Amino acid sequence: MLVGFQPRRYQKVIVETAKRYNTLVVLPTGLGKTAIALMLAANRLSVYPDAKVVFLAPTRPLIQQHYEYFKRHLALEDEAFALLTGSVLPAKRIKAFAEAKVLFYTPQTLENDLMQGAVNLGDVCLMIFDECHRAVGDYAYAFIAKEYIKQGKYPRIIGLTASPGSDAEKIKEIIKNLSIEEIEVRSVDDPDVKPYVKDIEVEWIRVCFPKPYKELQQLLKRFVSERLERLKEWKVIRRKNLPKKELILLQANLMKRLSKGERKGFLFSSVSLLSEIMKVQHAVELLETQGIFALHRYIARLREQEENSKTRALKNIFRDIYFKSAVVLINRLYKEGWKHPKLLKVLEIVQKELEARPDSKIIVFNQYRDNGVELVDELNKIEGVKAALFVGQLKKEGTGLSQKEQKEVINKFREGAFNVLVATAVGEEGLDIPKVDVVVFYEPIPSAIRHIQRRGRTGRHEKGKVIVLVTKGTRDEGYRWSAHRKEKAMFSNLKKILLDLRERRKKGKDIQTKLSKFNEQIKVIADDRERDKSVLRELFGFGVGIEQKRLECADYLLSSDVGVEVKSVADFVQSIVDGRLFRQVRMMKERFNKPLLVIEGEESLFEQRGLHPNAINGAIASIIIDYGVPIVWTKNRRETAQLLYAIAKREQSGNKKAASLHAKKPKELCSQQEYVIAALPGIGSSMAKDMLKKFRTIKAIVDASVEELMQVPRIGKKTAEKIRSLLDSEYVANN
């Protein structure tokens, strides 16, 4: 079944395990994780010839890469493979799922199709989760795996990653979410892997921190130190040398206390001070690890934010004498053209490498996009260097790359149009970046996952070289050892967790999640513009059938009578300010016999946007008394889902009707007319008004030709023909 493919010994061993158990495969970048998935897919399809295989990867370029790899090496007809991302229409995805044998999805796309009930995973004999370290929190992997275990007749899961991270609890979460039963982990030092690994020479180069940078560092650190001292005096912290992670958790905890109504004066001041500290600490990090160019850009953005907002933290930062002095020095160094010693060292490394081997390919990993821009500009000044920036999709000052553009950059790098890639984190994960001779870390990174991914970009086919730049006397030195410690912790934790998994298996414990059966009786219609899927995931887990459609009002329809609008605390207050609230409430009252407003969150309504409490209380009173719409408060998305489920279950029990797009009929004549026309194909309430304004009566609309209907704005030929077809078709009762 495999074509043009020669498996390695360690891959065969891993596949034998994966045939019997749901397996987490931890293998450094470049050692053939996709090949293991391919071998397992071939085996499962030979055992279950009428079944399907589903391959999931986080991005379009990555899933496209896997799709092409499988088509090359798996001996099936082209029609047996289907690439299904959000750019493929839902109807085409449903058809492809029914007809193809090996399906390649981005996770959000499959998640949506599952929630809509468009696909069933019963006949899937293997589910492959690439970059499975993402299977934590609300990421779609967890939901999909849960549904697969529930629906699959013969489920088998394989998770692929270069590193699941060093945190034991995170690793356990991945294992739980993917129903993992066995772990196969290898390093480049394992005896069965060593024959296939080329030597990688790792060189750590330490550069000096210039004197003007040290002066600037001291000014910024004085700013931070003074504020930490104040927090210590207020007994908010016990020690001053807190890492960023702890500061973020502390700020979140203080915000939570404020949201619950605690009104101690120091809480507000502490939250503001923490915000100041973290913003200036970021400036210190940019200075130490990146340079003046990136720092100057960051300060400019802070200044712009300060001028356009009333945030106390930003105002205080720019009033501070140390920060003012720092800004003066930053501007002077920027005008004088100071470059970080690491940038100069990168230029030297690249020039020497290309002079020695003109056909070399080099990747420079740089954590910050601003600095990446400067690096590309400086590299392209060197004769023989053709450098390109490789960044993510987020558009920042014109530097974002779409997934299509990312693929084009990689292809040009492969073909030799570029010989140097300056890449941010997007270049670390999974993408098949070919034949890299030298990898340069502009900075060490305190992440086991990212360190392993970066290092694995070289030494695949020939001897490789990794150069890591470290600035003396800065956080670079701490980060160097942090990544090393975390990598050791990862292997140690995986070993302990594997022993636990095997012990549980011996005792016969079922480690796969038991789930309730799908309840077809309960159905909820959700607005398809809802971006946060966590409520839908919870409802789906309760066995609710989900249908996503464009709703004119309300976020969820729970029955023909009940429409529910859900607002976060911040959105509720904002909707009072911008006037949306009462318009939405009025529409719900017209459409539904039992409208409901849910306000979600533990924050206080009265701490949002500085709106006077009287205005908020007045709005609440009006909604309840004048409109007769009940308001319910929930703490979080899970609690909201539980409430919606309870209401839907109650509403749809017995002979009551399930959720319907056509709920309560409006009483006013104009609203009744709009209601009737809104039910026509492709016509909502907004277009119904346009049609009635044009034709004046329902009769005139019914009598209108296709050409006349097309004279209404936003009605094209297809919609007009559908309307005409509906009106002209003979009624045939459905027995």
CATH of span 523-651: 3.40.50.10130
Equal fold, 211-335 vs 523-651: no
Average pLDDT, the chain: 87
Tell me the pLDDT tens digit for each residue of 559-573: 888 999 999 988 898
pLDDT reading at 436 higher than 90:
no
Per-residue pLDDT tens over the stretch 215-257:
999 999 999 999 999 999 988 898 888 888 889 889 888 887 7
Does position 517 have pLDDT exceeding 50, yes or no? Answer: no
- Mean pLDDT computed over 679-685: 78
Mean pLDDT for the stretch of residues 662-671: 61
Q: What pLDDT is stored for residue 273 in this prediction?
A: 94
Residue 124, pLDDT > 70, answer yes
Residue 510: pLDDT band (50, 70, 90) is very low
For the segment 149-155, the average pLDDT, to the nearest whole number, is 93
Could you please state the CATH topology (level 3) that the domain comprising 200-208+342-473 is classified under: Rossmann fold (3.40.50)
Greater confidence, 504 or 706?
Answer: 706
CA distance 120 to 485: 43
- Checking if the pLDDT of 277 tops 70, the result is yes
More confident residue, 400 or 615: 615
The least confident of 191-200, 370-379, 503-512 is 503-512
- pLDDT at 685 (0 to 100): 67
Q: Show Cβ contacts of residue 732 under 8 Å, excluding neighbours closer than 6 positions.
A: none
User: Cα–Cα distances in Å, from 570 out to 536, 565, 575?
Assistant: 21, 14, 9
Which residue has tokens 């005896």? 191
Distances (CA, A) of 130 to 134, 142, 258, 320, 656: 9, 13, 41, 48, 44
Residue 337 tokens read as 């053209």
CATH number 3.40.50.300 given to 9-196: yes
pLDDT above 70 (res 70): yes
Question: What is the predicted pLDDT for the residue at 224?
Answer: 96
Q: What's residue 666's pLDDT?
A: 54
Rounded to whole angstroms, the Cα distance separating 340 from 288 reads 9
| 704-721 confidence digits (pLDDT tens) | 999 999 999 888 888 899
Gyration radius of the chain's alpha carbons: 30
- Predicted confidence band of residue 658 (pLDDT cuts 50, 70, 90): low
Report pLDDT for 730. 83
239 vs 432, higher pLDDT: 239
**Res 48: pLDDT:** 94
Of the CA atoms within 13 Å of residue 307, those in its CB half-sphere come to 6
Domain 211-335 coded CATH 3.40.50.1980 = no
Q: Evaluate whether 135 touches 64 at the Cβ level (below 8 Å).
A: no
Q: What pTM value is reported for the model?
A: 0.68
What pLDDT was estimated at residue 516? 41
Confidence of residue 511 (pLDDT cuts 50, 70, 90): very low
What count of other Cβ atoms lies within 10 Å of the Cβ of residue 380? 12
pLDDT for 519 equals 43
pLDDT of residue 459: 47
Check residue 205 and give its pLDDT.
93
Percent of the chain with pLDDT over 90: 50
pLDDT band with cut points at 50, 70 and 90 for residue 513: very low
| Per-residue pLDDT at 259 exceeds 80 | no
What is the C-alpha separation between 152 and 172, in angstroms, rounded? 23
Q: Which residue has the tokens 């967790």?
A: 497
Q: How confident is the model at residue 19 (pLDDT cuts 50, 70, 90)?
A: very high
Q: Indicate the SS3 state at residue 528.
A: coil
Residue 283 corresponds to which tokens in the numbers above?
A: 């400036």
Average pLDDT, stretch 313-339? Answer: 95
pLDDT score of 339 more than 90: yes
pLDDT of residue 308: 83
The pLDDT, as a whole number, for residue 512 is: 42
Structure tokens at 446: 């305190």
- Tell me, what's the pLDDT at 601? 87
**Binning pLDDT at 50, 70 and 90, where does residue 689 land?**
confident
Sheet holding 387-390, edge to edge: 200-207, 464-471, 438-441, 362-365, 420-423, 387-390
Cα(547)–Cα(531) distance, integer angstroms: 15
Instruction: Quote the DSSP letter at residue 662.
Output: S
Percent of the chain with pLDDT over 70: 89
Domain ranges of the chain: 9-196, 200-208+342-473, 211-335, 523-651, 669-728
Phi, psi of 249 (to 5 degrees): -65, -40
Kindly state the average pLDDT of the residues 256-275: 79
| Size of the chain in residues | 735
C-beta pairs of 682-688 under 8 Å, 24+ apart in sequence:
682/715, 682/718, 682/719, 682/722, 682/723, 683/715, 683/719, 683/723, 684/550, 684/552, 685/552, 686/552, 687/712, 687/714, 687/715
Strand partners, 204: 468
Q: Three-state DSSP class for 23?
A: strand
Instruction: Tell me: pLDDT of 175 over 70.
Output: yes
Cα separations in angstroms, 691 against 158, 224, 366, 680, 712: 54, 63, 56, 11, 6
Helix (H, G, I), strand (E, B) or coil at 442: coil
Q: What is the pLDDT of residues 55-65, one digit of tens each?
A: 999 988 889 99
CATH fold of 669-728 = DNA polymerase; domain 1 (1.10.150)
pLDDT tens readout for residues 278-297: 999 999 999 999 999 999 99
